[in-house]
Structure 1
């Protein structure tokens, strides 16, 4: 049996352990030095330090001397083994002959005796120091007291190193938060902001994946907007009902929600990614803007993890900065839209002045044309197609006069008399006007009338202008020919009876970038287009208390529809 170490040797060892605070910043390096001191002073053949994992509450080997094990091979619950017993009870323990103690868990076949002392921080065990010998009865009660004394000093040193590490980590996190704030402050596009938040959040806290969900307008569903993993953005799409997921709880309560073991819960979001990436734990942090939740920032780990207060607070800060950036992006978009609207109003004002000048110049020659045409003797026999053509020409001249008159009197108070027309006849006459154009462009133009008469109170020229705009747009969409179907029908789905006109083509469809703004002024998909046809058409239909809309569009064709109240 070893003789007890001299007092001088113990004092020197305590001194060397205490100096480690100023000699290193690495707690693991300090523990390795401490173990060597223990082996030298106590004459042990091996030694180890096991620390409590806060996520699993298991004791895991951190450093060893004379042992060939690591934390993946050694993980003890509290109370199991000599090490677990010391951690559970917080008291040192001497075992003269380990093979006679039922608590012993074999680690190395040659070990005969063992001592263990708890590492206590504020009265709670955070780990255990073990020293072993290849001889039975190798340690005495005095050795156990020395081990306890050295362990207390070692715990103090390591605790201070941990604290220094925490302070440095917090300083780094604050610097990172400041940098992220500056980064987000310089972005305007919402998609860029969301991608930046998930990317930087994943870097800020050691997690496998970060994601952002935002609420839709009616606040009933969550749309996945951005996902970032260790290798960059992840292409993953998902939409959830608030009632389907624990993420919805974070939205409703405006509080963070943590799930430590996702696979063992009935969580319905991220299922495919959870399985493929092996995700285990979740921290959901609500994004709150003006005291209202607008979305949620999620962090996922691939190991079971208990999120501590520092991590929760860190993600709350990220969510708060994200809320400010999202709000700024939305405000910027509104300002941009307002500026665009002002510019458009300026163009409309200029266009109005120009239109008035043109109308003034057109009125005189148009009057001459009307007088000369009226003086011609064009009395064709019944059944002669030219008789119908002369009637149409007369109507169009009158319509041109009215258009010129409206332009010149724009802004003045005027009452415009509408008349009752059969919508079938009104549309059919308009289709006849473009029959030659259809033949020239190779378009099969088909008209289908309603089974019954649909009487509407309307301005004939204006409604015909709408039909012409829609039909000619269909022609332009099919320069190599195609088919256009113009259908008149009664809308049976409305409480107020209405007649509807449907114009369908089999062209390539409206470009995706134009669909949401198809009725805006100066918006055109053709270089030669003015961008006013559909905007004017919508204004006309609105003035008739009707509705015009893009029903559907795609590679198989496009369908527009407008409806008018029946008289």
Structure 2
């Protein structure tokens, strides 16, 4: 068994010896030993892949495992459909059960219990060491998430992005089904949905929750964490229909406060009934405290910006004036020399030697102007691309969350169509996100109230295509040639930089952005990315 170096190696060997189709390794969390965490999976290559729960909290199943001395069958509804036969083989260390190897057969079987126990028991030492590694990793796991949150807060004043990052990290850390973040609207005395992760887009538009007479309102008003083992058993939990549609059951909610000021609530949901440990409650409160810091930082920054707005405008005008004067001086001098030489040629044609010398001077002055332009372009040069495999649908969903308020205010219907099974492409996430954001902002500007915007992901001739279609009046034919030119805009408050920046970012990916459709019923912008 020297070749069994990883949990996956061990499971693969157990699969072969037991004849099962799929296998999973679950360890009990110490010291409570009241939940099972998925650590590894394996299976036959030709076998259909099974979905394994990341955690099992069912008290009956866990108690049955802790009492078991031989393998036992149990049921689970998290598979991929079809007939399944699940057998849990306990992993023991001395008199204590530390986990289980769960074997999945796609047909009814009656394997020998002694054979299954022997297959796992002879690897008990390696499995015990794996449990120790698992416990160490679980203890250090929250640190990386907290570092990510702290880094995001210190590096950005974009509150929407920071808050979305918080709920995303919280969902992953707690292995939850979804997370949401709601902030207090003082004018209405309600909690308003701000962002969420792991849910449908419809969930983001659920109604506000009143601070009085609701569970989440109690979290805020009493400034304490509340958890519900089953939200459907709680009469004061509102929006049970949303919970049912999202497939969530248990809730843990932490207050977001700063210096005794109630700001909102951070919520974690799991699919099955469960009770969170005290350490998990404290960890969620730490996340909520980080959110309070982020919100406060942004609000203070906004106040500073408002107070200094006039000074900033004056400073910008002064800087622009100095820059314009400097550029005029730098350009005027070479042009004056060139103009003087041209006039001298007109009044008295130079001989061959003088003419050659004058041409050298003209060439040098033109070179000086070219160098000046290069220096200006250098100021706009961006950082190198950071190409990584990213799910484009997830990026689109992230942008749609950022635009949720604008979409709702404009009463626009947003349709998303995905025709690609695995929409994963090597991209720089931030730049593609910005490019999609620019196109969607333009689509919103063009689309009237109660209109429709469609985002479509598909393949086109070996390239990945992202279509953004509005329901506006279309683009005038006279504007099409200038559409991607810098500073060209038809909007009263536009800068004319959105589309040129988008084209530049896509071209950095060796792709292109085009107007693929333009009618009186709307226009379609298409991003094409190489695979």
Provide TM-score, normalisation by structure 2. Answer: 0.41
What TM-score, normalized by structure 1, do the two folds share? 0.39
For the pair shown, the structure with the greater C-alpha radius of gyration is 1
